[in-house]
Amino acid sequence: MSELEGNCLVCQSGGPTAVINASLAGVIEEALNHECIEEIYGGLNGVVGVLNEDLVDLAAESQQVIRLLKSTPGSALGTCRYTFKKEEDLERALEVFKAHDIRYFFYIGDSESMAMIDKLDELAKSEGYEMRILGIPKTINNDISATDHTPGYGSMIKHVATTVREMAADNESIGKGDYVSILEVQGRNSGWIAAGSALAKRRDHPHDAPHIILLPEVVFNPEKFIADVQKVLAREKFCLVVTGEGLVDMNGNYVSAKASSSDAFGHVQLGGAGEFLRGVIEANLGVSARSCKLGVAGRAAAHNASQADSDEAYLAGSAAVIQAVENGKSGKMITLQRAEADSYKCETGWVDLADVPATSKQLPADWINDDGVSMNFPFVKYATPLIQGEVPIVWENGLPVFAKLKGARVDKVLAAYEM
């Protein structure tokens, strides 16, 4: 098959991960290997940059910067939460592709992004404009179906599990059966991230922290929670609780829903799930409790990213280019698959964009122990390979240095677009 000649465009979308730029580096470096790809462009802020024709010349970036992308958090090209709102958006995107001879379009994003670029792929086909459109999955939430796991998840849970180990060492030295601490992690609708904290337990040490993992998948029962904390405090010096931010009560409401009646200076604003649990403990158990909330600092913690995750993020990016160029694939999302082997090995595959479900991939119920607050061996077996290795960081003057793209603009050739 003769290779399609033209330019390449890559964008990033949705919430950043610690390794989303490794996928970007994978696309850029692989694209350089293929002569059929002439220019390598980046779109600023996801499809918003496509619609506004805000393109930058990625081949003009230094190799140093491209290498540094592998340890840089955030989305180096900027991101967006925009998905096409109207038919005109699709047509405009295609117009931009044609104007810049974009024949390869790579979109790093989540399930919603995949549905969007699928429409774009259909339109290009129906108009007879030959191009390749591929999705590269990313999300800290690990909730994209059709891929074994998602680039971004491994680094997220490596940092969460590291934090739990460190808090445990700290708390154990303080507690005398009277100290509770709570770590709130991201994950509003799924417990994948909170579940990952289970990796902090040493093998065959089920009583290690985290002692209680609260998942959005398990209805929060305050009486059981209090009893669980009491049980841990009777056994251990301290009790470490990990909670996802989206804890729900028996009516399906978030336990920490924001008060809608906050006054001008926010005096009745409620905290998150962690602060809520702190209140529950202090009001009912008369012991001291403290909460920490990783929030966006967690997903951005590139200084503690997983090498395996980073490598796989990069691999997903380069595989997209290879599938598009060498195999002429379009309308697919790259997937990560476990190779059939004695030890963990990750391979890439692909799935039709249309077959990526919009619904979130669920944490398997049978990976949660009967106690509802801990994970069993199948989960640990699944997640452990994803956190292996440490991404080397470039330190300067005691702090990590991150890549900043020069971002040389590609000349606009079209009239402005009204979004």
Do 74 and 300 touch, CB atoms closer than 8 A? yes
Among 284, 369, 374, 376, binds a copy of itself (CB under 8 A): 284
CA angle 155, 66, 8 (to 5 degrees): 100
Among 42, 49, 74, 210, binds a copy of itself (CB under 8 A): 74
Number of residues that bind a copy of itself (CB under 8 A): 82
68 three-class SS: helix
Nearest to 154 by CA among 349, 17, 348: 17
Among 114, 195, 280, 321, binds a copy of itself (CB under 8 A): 280
Specify the residue, 122 or 208, whose C-beta has the smaller distance to a copy of itself.
208
Specify the residue, 399 or 408, whose C-beta has the smaller distance to a copy of itself.
399
Taking the complex as a whole, how short is the minimal distance between the CB of residue 173 and a copy of itself, in angstroms? 4
- Residues within window 110-149 making contact with a copy of itself, judged by CB under 8 A: none
- Residues within window 24-53 making contact with a copy of itself, judged by CB under 8 A: 45
Specify the residue, 97 or 192, whose C-beta has the smaller distance to a copy of itself.
192
List Cβ neighbours of 193 (8 Å cut-off, separation of 6 or more). Answer: 140, 141, 142, 153, 156, 157, 160, 185, 186, 187, 244
- 221 touches a copy of itself by CB under 8 A: no
- Tell whether the torsion through CA atoms of 185, 140, 311 and 355 is positive or negative: positive
Residue with tokens 């056994």: 235
Specify the residue, 376 or 388, whose C-beta has the smaller distance to a copy of itself.
388
Q: Does residue 245 have a known ligand-binding role?
A: yes
Tokens of 161: 């599990």
Specify the residue, 157 or 321, whose C-beta has the smaller distance to a copy of itself.
157
Taking the complex as a whole, how short is the minimal distance between the CB of residue 40 and a copy of itself, in angstroms? 19
Interaction pattern, residues 382-401, with a copy of itself; x per rule: CB under 8 A: --x--xxxx----x-xxxx-
CA–centroid distance for 144 within its chain: 10
Tell me the sheet residues that pair with 350: 334
Interaction pattern, residues 255-274, with a copy of itself; x per rule: CB under 8 A: -------xxxxxxxxxxx-x
Alpha helices, DSSP H only, in 74-200? 87-99, 111-126, 153-174, 192-196
Q: Does residue 418 have a known ligand-binding role?
A: no
Specify the residue, 95 or 208, whose C-beta has the smaller distance to a copy of itself.
208
Taking the complex as a whole, how short is the minimal distance between the CB of residue 272 and a copy of itself, in angstroms? 7
Do 181 and 229 touch, CB atoms closer than 8 A? no
Taking the complex as a whole, how short is the minimal distance between the CB of residue 111 and a copy of itself, in angstroms? 19
Do 302 and 20 touch, CB atoms closer than 8 A? no
Q: How far is it, in rounded angstroms, from Cα 303 to Cα 399?
A: 10
For residue 333, the surrounding DSSP H or E stretch is strand 332-338
Among 94, 198, 200, 229, binds a copy of itself (CB under 8 A): 200
Q: Give, as one character, the DSSP assignment of residue 356.
A: S
Taking the complex as a whole, how short is the minimal distance between the CB of residue 16 and a copy of itself, in angstroms? 5
Cis peptide preceding 364, ω within 30 of 0: no
Interaction pattern, residues 162-191, with a copy of itself; x per rule: CB under 8 A: xx-xxxxxxxxxx-x----x-x--------
The strand ranges marked E within 162-262 are 179-185, 212-214, 238-244
Alpha helices, DSSP H only, in 327-416? 377-383
Among 56, 294, 320, 410, binds a copy of itself (CB under 8 A): 294
- Residues within window 324-363 making contact with a copy of itself, judged by CB under 8 A: none
Taking the complex as a whole, how short is the minimal distance between the CB of residue 232 and a copy of itself, in angstroms? 17
Among 208, 275, 347, 352, binds a copy of itself (CB under 8 A): 275
Binding residues: 15, 245
